Amino acid sequence: MSINVKMQLPGLGVDSSGLGLMSVQRQGLEARHRESLARFGYSPEALFWSTRGVQKARFKALTGIGVARGDSLLDVGCGFGDLDSWLSSRKKTVQYTGIDISPDILMRAGEMMPARNLHCGELFDFQWPESSFDWVLLSGTLNWNLYDKGDYARRSIARMFELARKGVAFNLLDERYINPLYLDGLVAYDVQTMLAFCRTITTKCELVEGYLDNDFTIFMKK
Ligand SMILES: C[S@@+](CC[C@H](N)C(=O)[O-])C[C@H]1O[C@@H](n2cnc3c(N)ncnc32)[C@H](O)[C@@H]1O
């Protein structure tokens, strides 16, 4: 079967900005997802979601920014591309592009949906021009602790905003509701600190809470 996952395209797949993940971080993320896929197969658990319900609750909160049928959307850390399927099931088919650091997860995604537009890599591997997508969304991708005090997360959010024509929506774990002893390699954030950072990029920020116990979403509109 031919699989439409772009592993190497001209101008793609190489971080020349110096802003991307360090190779040790990248290898760690790839290994973690290779193991989880081998263990769980296509499932929310392979993406470290406890249930399909928590994944969907995040999708609902994120797309509340205003994603409409026909919009173009970049999904950063797309996993299996479940956001695309979820939107289609709600009659909001979008022009979808997904990127993911894990070649294993992405190959599986490509096997299931060969026509889906998927690229292997992280944000800084791609040299898309500014405002390339109506919306740039991210769910769960910044939950791993890179032990960099959140620098990569902030760089990613700033880059997502550059790439968006209409806006950005992303979620993070909320440190108020997570015992640090149970984070186990994950990272949680202070809501107000993250919101203050986003407001240095645009004043049009909105906080969304209450859809899950331990998660928050931020909208940044153009
Ligand atoms: C918690 S899963 C969520 C997947 C998808 N967003 C969903 O909700 O179904 C996080 C995904 O982000 C990917 N990932 C982690 N760090 C990444 C990065 N810096 N750039 C791109 N993908 C990344 C992982 O491989 C994984 O598939």
What CATH number is attached to the domain comprising 140?
3.40.50.150
Which residues, 6 or more positions from 11, have their beta carbon under 8 angstroms from its beta carbon? 126, 127
Of residues 162, 173, 171, 154, the one with CA closest to residue 207 = 171
For residues 71-82, average pLDDT: 98
Which residue is closest in CA terms to ligand 1's atom 12? 77
Residue 68 corresponds to which tokens in the numbers above? 């409409």
User: What SS3 class is residue 134?
Assistant: strand
For residues 165-182, average pLDDT: 93
Q: How far is the CA of 150 from the centre of ligand 1 (A)?
A: 16
DSSP run (H or E) holding 161: helix 151-163
User: Is 135 inside any structural domain?
Assistant: yes
Q: Indicate the number of domains in the chain.
A: 1
Residue listed under structure tokens 């509340």: 64
Quick one: pLDDT band at residue 16, thresholds 50, 70, 90?
low
User: Is 129 inside any structural domain?
Assistant: yes
**Widest pairwise Cα distance in the chain:** 48
Tell me the per-residue pLDDT of 86-112, one tens digit each, with 9 for 90 and over: 999 999 999 999 999 999 999 999 999
Which residue is closest in CA terms to ligand 1's atom 26? 79
Q: How far is the CA of 128 from the centre of ligand 1 (A)?
A: 19
Domain that holds residue 187: 17-221
If one counts every other C-beta atom within 10 angstroms of the C-beta of residue 213, the result is 11
Whole-number pLDDT of residue 5: 61
The proportion of the chain whose per-residue pLDDT surpasses 90, expressed as a percent, equals: 87
